[in-house]
Amino acid sequence: MNIQIWSDFSCPFCYIGKHNLEQAIMLLSEEEMAQIKIQYRSFELAPDAPAFTELSLAEVLAERYQTTLEKAKELTTNSAGMAATVGLTIHNEKIVPTSTFAAHQLLHYVANKAPGKIKACADLLFKAYFQDGINLSDIVALIEIADKLKLDLTDIKKALDEETYVNAVRDDEAIAHRINVQSVPFFVIDNEVAIQGAQKVEDFHSFLVEYLKEKNGKVDA
């Protein structure tokens, strides 16, 4: 069972959806868990976001969605509240709302060079953005994240400086466009079933159990 997840590190609902899916998987039996493979796909919510900014998250959202600063702050408060209900922390006042393009390149580097560390990499990137107030466009910051994963820092710096994985990110986004992904998180299971949005743990779990039961029934027939 292959689950592709299109998401962005600046998306609170992607943070929540990824967490809830992982929690649902943990509720499965070891035999069921062994059948699941997660594939992370890139999707930039704001591909025109700058590499550096002095604006707050609320200011950026107010401008992006043509709304008031108060309304934008309400949106960020609501998403942080949703995250808190599933045990995740979001510090909106710390968030640096810049481009996530380089962070997606790092994720693809890890997927290619150290696939066993891909989940840990995604976890660190989400935490960096939502909890630690790290600018994900900052190559130095990304290398520090890679250091936590005990990766080859010289090789990573070279890959990021030379934008070795630009096409990998663009390919993911091209596929998203082709299958009409309008918002993230967006989950595609075995290229057959699509699930949109940050579902609840119990809903993910019910789907996984039923899908695996049906899939294994077909195999056994």
Within 10 Å of residue 27's Cβ, how many Cβ atoms?
Answer: 14
Which one is predicted more confidently, 80 or 216? Answer: 80
In sequence order, what are the residues at sequence separation of 6 or more whose Cβ sits closer than 8 angstroms to the Cβ of residue 212?
1, 28, 32, 35
Model pLDDT for residues 134-163, shown as the tens digit of each residue: 999 999 999 999 999 999 999 999 999 999
Strand-by-strand arrangement of the 186-189 sheet: 37-42, 2-7, 186-189, 193-196
Is 80 exceeded by the pLDDT of residue 219? no
Contact by Cβ (8 Å): 132, 90: no
Model pLDDT for residues 38-54, shown as the tens digit of each residue: 999 999 999 999 999 99
CA 217/CA 221 separation, integer angstroms? 6
Is 60 exceeded by the pLDDT of residue 100? yes
Contacts 24+ apart (CB under 8 A), 200-205: 200/20, 201/20, 201/23, 201/24, 201/27, 201/86, 202/24, 204/20, 204/21, 204/23, 204/24, 204/25, 205/24, 205/27, 205/28
Q: What percentage of residues in the chain have a pLDDT greater than 70?
A: 98
Is residue 220 very low, low, confident or very high in pLDDT (cuts 50, 70, 90)? very low
CA 147/CA 26 separation, integer angstroms? 27
- Residue 207, amino acid: F
Tokens of 220: 């056994």
Is residue 217 very low, low, confident or very high in pLDDT (cuts 50, 70, 90)? confident
Is residue 127 very low, low, confident or very high in pLDDT (cuts 50, 70, 90)? very high
Averaged pLDDT score across all residues of the chain: 96
pLDDT for the residue 101: 98
* Boundaries of every domain in the chain: 2-220
pLDDT for the residue 218: 59
- Classify residue 174 by burial, with Cβ atoms within 10 Å: 0-12, 13-18, 19+: exposed
CA 197/CA 181 separation, integer angstroms? 11
- Phi, psi for residue 131 in degrees, rounded to 5: -110, -40
Torsion, Cα of 51, 55, 56, 58 (10° steps): -100
State whether CATH 3.40.30.10 applies to domain 2-220: yes
